[in-house]
Amino acid sequence: NTSLDSEKITEDVEKTLVSSGSSDGYLVSDMAGQKGVLDNLLNIVTLVLTVIGAIALLVSGISIMNIMLISVNERTREIGIKKSIGATAADIMRDFLAESVLISLIGAATGVVCSVIIVKIASVYIGMSVSVSFTVALGTMAVAMAVGVVFGIFPAYKASCFNPVEALRR
């Protein structure tokens, strides 16, 4: 085990320094222990950022649902016309879900572009080559689509349930 070897070596170095009488002014440090502390710190930062990201997704999903509910209320005549000329409830639901997913994808694409710009600026500033993974960007877009579908279902269902005659009266 590397950790145990490192601890043993650290103890041996400390004993050697003490026995030689020259232990003053020296600090014996175990890099494996420091790595453990850094790993714990990174795990905490990852957890905090995950929680912040989850809250941001929830807020954006609720915002998308509100926008879609307003859109449904504003477009009742359009829904009534579509239904009166033969559109099914599934057609109406599909239209509103597609709109919800499109709104989510536009938001995600904007976020990915802003992230790439910020990472490029930061990499110049800190003097290291840092990049955004294409896989992570695709994952972001997939999550955005899922958020669009999940939070767009209720408004789309509400739109698909309109009675065409009632919708045309509004």
CA atoms of 137 and 129, how far apart (whole Å) = 18
Confidence of residue 2 (pLDDT cuts 50, 70, 90): low
The reported pLDDT for the residue numbered 60 is 92
The CA distance from 75 to 68, in Å, is 10
Neighbours of 79 (CB within 10 A): 24
Rounded CA gap, 169 and 67, in Å? 23
User: Between residues 132 and 170, which one has the greater pLDDT?
Assistant: 132
DSSP 65: H
- The confidence score (pLDDT) of residue 96 equals 95
Instruction: Give the relative orientation of helices 76-84 and 89-126 as an angle to the nearest 10 degrees.
Output: 130
What digits encode the pLDDT tens for the residues 69-121?
Answer: 999 999 999 999 999 999 999 999 999 999 999 999 999 999 999 999 999 99
For 142-158, how does the pLDDT look when each residue is reduced to its tens digit (9 = 90+)?
999 999 999 999 999 99
pLDDT for position 22: 64
CA atoms lying within 13 Å on the CB side of residue 158: 16
Q: What is the CA radius of gyration of the chain?
A: 29
Quick check: 148 and 105 in contact, CB under 8 A? yes
- Per-residue pLDDT of 22-69, as tens digits, reads 656 677 777 777 788 888 898 999 899 989 989 999 999 999 999 999
User: Is the pLDDT higher at 11 or at 96?
Assistant: 96
CA distances, 113 to each of 50, 88, 106, 118, 123 (Å): 20, 38, 11, 9, 15
Question: Percent helix, strand, coil in the chain (nearest 5)?
Answer: 85, 0, 15
Confidence at residue 23, expressed as pLDDT on a 0 to 100 scale = 56
